[in-house]
Structure 1
């Protein structure tokens, strides 16, 4: 579409002269005899460039320029003000009113042509910028829609993942279980559980999939199913046997179970999505407890009459290398003893001074609340973690499973 130029000049001879000059330059021309007439044209018709005299009866060129700049017109209008006064004061006043260019009358065809070409370049830049902004706005709308869909999917995934976790603190055969679980995102890479393996044994685990977000959460869901005693077909914690009389299974010891996990869940070389885990079995009758770690933080043991201490040696993460053997740690849990299995999201939580929370601080808290009910102790730990972090967001999932012999 050709450039539309509006000439605003109260002197008829000057107006006609400007009109002829600009028509020779092959532009579409409209004319107005004063600012008010020009304003009415601007509101009704598309105009690209306004060339206006300064001094006119009624609405002068400066007032017209100010009105253009304050109005919500359909496009940017480039304004050139013509005046017989060419001083610095007039130039500053014109620019301050919103003029794009300033020329002293009389103007030659060559000068007007150059100023109009400069205006066209500015208008082209404005048009390109508007087009880019529209494209960006369209892209942003698409991204916002996609984010909304993803957010809903993540929230649905979080509900599914949450349904696989214990729903409330409970007691199994005189063993109390409670926990802290604060995922860093909608879905978490941490997962934990506890369950009765048979009439004499209770199992528990805490695992932490490397990474965050959907890939980590998907693997954690798969693992929680593989570690569920209710899953008789794929469970790695029991070996079911086709025998005519009960029991129809045998419980797999922790070291063997973790070794089987390692063989089944070898990481893809491209993603290297490994995980760490601590898995234990408690004998209900005598409190004998067998624990195996695979690259997971050492649990904290708090027994009557002794200080809190870390147990275990760490072991090797699951999925990084095949044919790994794992060790077992044996302890005896008596009445009043407590055991805490947790993820590194707690001990490696960073504060504003770039300091880690550390296992030592966690042990100090366990000692501080040794006479608290289990739930009150966990509330204390969670409160101190939030104080340490300084806000309610965590870079990594925060998980702690607390076990007490009652």
Structure 2
């Protein structure tokens, strides 16, 4: 009859026996070696710590009472050491007091065996430890995968972050100048995205003396898609390339004339709706001004009402409402008119101002916007909008603004003299 083969040692399953009694170590060694474990021995806690520092130990079976460093102190120092993997710690004791067992658990022991050791009970404890170590290894491998995935995601985030920073610079270049002087008349602009890039756009251009166009646009949503839309709209309303500007018309091959605001709104609406797959729309106030007379003609498409502040300090909100651009095919837009006298101002802004939630939980709304403008009455024309924005942030100190904020302020000073 063929003799039974000895159990094959289990890869990576090493047991360290720690006991000052050589006899006790031999008894335990005979048991665990028979079950296929690799065995190391130490006669003291200090010797065992040296072995653990040099060898990968999966199980430790340590006596509680030993001269010098006892099992509790050894366990505590073992747990404090830096290890790449978990070690399952079993304390051998003749103690049965609950307080002592609790003390052992608190310092990091996983299990206990009472001396003299029962072989079946010891094997059951080792089997239980194997399950713990197997789960720990699986968790370790999953954590490595998660760590690698997080590193990859961080790399992608860093790339996107760099791209967004560059995109913000590009978007800022769409409005390189925030303050214009047309003789004694000034136009100042503000654009503050709530993220890296935003969906608001402001602008002004002049095709000739005493003729001026200005606008404030708020594209639906936030982020990259909205920012791409603003870049496209900036091209449609470019003051540098009037040949491509849809808001002007060349006359007699010599000069450009400003088209009516409602015509501009209709053209933009048709172009946006003709693009398959584009779901964005935008609100807008677009106006043209005759600086010789102070007459303004404007169109409002779903945007907050413009505010006129007269030289005497009185305020009125104007506008004809209208649907946003890019929502309704064939939408009609109505113009409205206002005439400014020297010293009068007109402010158009996005709902990032009027719908900003203040610390008291209330929105700023038109009354708050009026107060902001009145509070900035002593500021220089070029500083009014920045001052208003700062005052808005002081009303919302608990959190950053959650929408893009933009505005255009025209202060009429009379006609240009060239």
With the shorter chain as reference, the TM-score category is over 0.9
Separation in structure 2 between the aligned mates of residue 52 and residue 358 of structure 1, nearest angstrom: 73
Q: Is the 1:191–1:220 Cα contact (8 Å) retained in structure 2?
A: yes
Gap runs ≥5 in structure 1: none
- What number of residue pairs does the alignment pair up? 403
Separation in structure 2 between the aligned mates of residue 139 and residue 27 of structure 1, nearest angstrom: 35
Distance 1:377 1:261, change over 3 A: same
* TM-score with structure 1 setting the length: 0.94
Q: C-alpha offsets along residues 147-198 of structure 1, whole Å, 9 cap, x if unaligned? A: 1111111111111111111424221132111233221011111010111122
Is 1:107 the counterpart of 2:114? The answer is no
Separation in structure 1 between the aligned mates of residue 313 and residue 105 of structure 2, nearest angstrom: 82
Distance 1:225 1:79, change over 3 A: same
RMSD between superposed Cα atoms in Å: 1.9
Separation in structure 1 between the aligned mates of residue 199 and residue 83 of structure 2, nearest angstrom: 53
Is 1:364 the counterpart of 2:371? The answer is yes
Q: Is the 2:204–2:239 Cα contact (8 Å) retained in structure 1?
A: no
The Cα shift of 1:236 comes to 0.9
Is 1:64 the counterpart of 2:91? The answer is no
Task: Tell me the secondary structure at the aligned position of residue 320 of structure 1.
Answer: coil
Separation in structure 2 between the aligned mates of residue 104 and residue 353 of structure 1, nearest angstrom: 66
The residue that corresponds to 1:298 in the other structure is: 305
The residue that corresponds to 1:92 in the other structure is: 102
The residue that corresponds to 1:36 in the other structure is: 46
Of 157, 164, 170 in structure 2, the residue corresponding to residue 160 of structure 1 is 170
Q: C-alpha offsets along residues 73-124 of structure 1, whole Å, 9 cap, x if unaligned? A: 2321111000122221321222223211111111211101111111112212
Separation in structure 1 between the aligned mates of residue 44 and residue 374 of structure 2, nearest angstrom: 87
Separation in structure 2 between the aligned mates of residue 251 and residue 182 of structure 1, nearest angstrom: 28
Q: Is the 2:207–2:242 Cα contact (8 Å) retained in structure 1?
A: no
Task: Tell me the secondary structure at the aligned position of residue 389 of structure 1.
Answer: coil
Separation in structure 2 between the aligned mates of residue 259 and residue 5 of structure 1, nearest angstrom: 82
Of 383, 398, 401 in structure 2, the residue corresponding to residue 394 of structure 1 is 401
The Cα shift of 1:269 comes to 7.7
Is 1:172 the counterpart of 2:179? The answer is no
Q: Is the 2:190–2:202 Cα contact (8 Å) retained in structure 1?
A: no
Q: Is the 1:86–1:103 Cα contact (8 Å) retained in structure 2?
A: no
The residue that corresponds to 1:320 in the other structure is: 327
The residue that corresponds to 1:355 in the other structure is: 362
* TM-score with structure 2 setting the length: 0.91
The Cα shift of 1:268 comes to 6.5
Task: Tell me the secondary structure at the aligned position of residue 265 of structure 1.
Answer: helix
Q: C-alpha offsets along residues 25-68 of structure 1, whole Å, 9 cap, x if unaligned? A: 22222222222222221111110010011112233222211110
Separation in structure 2 between the aligned mates of residue 391 and residue 57 of structure 1, nearest angstrom: 61
Separation in structure 2 between the aligned mates of residue 342 and residue 168 of structure 1, nearest angstrom: 14
Q: Is the 1:229–1:237 Cα contact (8 Å) retained in structure 2?
A: no
Of 243, 246, 253 in structure 1, the residue corresponding to residue 254 of structure 2 is 246
Pairs within 5 Å for 1:202-241? 202-240=212-250
Separation in structure 2 between the aligned mates of residue 251 and residue 263 of structure 1, nearest angstrom: 19
Q: C-alpha offsets along residues 190-211 of structure 1, whole Å, 9 cap, x if unaligned? A: 0101111222310100000010
The residue that corresponds to 1:83 in the other structure is: 93
The more displaced of 215-224 and 387-396 is 387-396
Q: C-alpha offsets along residues 312-342 of structure 1, whole Å, 9 cap, x if unaligned? A: 0221100111111100011111110100010
The residue that corresponds to 2:270 in the other structure is: 263
The more displaced of 20-29 and 157-166 is 20-29
Separation in structure 2 between the aligned mates of residue 42 and residue 267 of structure 1, nearest angstrom: 73
Separation in structure 2 between the aligned mates of residue 20 and residue 13 of structure 1, nearest angstrom: 11
Task: Tell me the secondary structure at the aligned position of residue 244 of structure 2.
Answer: coil
Q: Is the 2:188–2:381 Cα contact (8 Å) retained in structure 1?
A: yes
Separation in structure 2 between the aligned mates of residue 329 and residue 320 of structure 1, nearest angstrom: 21
Separation in structure 1 between the aligned mates of residue 96 and residue 186 of structure 2, nearest angstrom: 91
Of 375, 381, 392 in structure 1, the residue corresponding to residue 388 of structure 2 is 381
The Cα shift of 1:146 comes to 1.2
Is 1:342 the counterpart of 2:335? The answer is no
Distance 1:134 1:91, change over 3 A: same
Q: Is the 1:9–1:32 Cα contact (8 Å) retained in structure 2?
A: yes
The Cα shift of 1:372 comes to 4.5
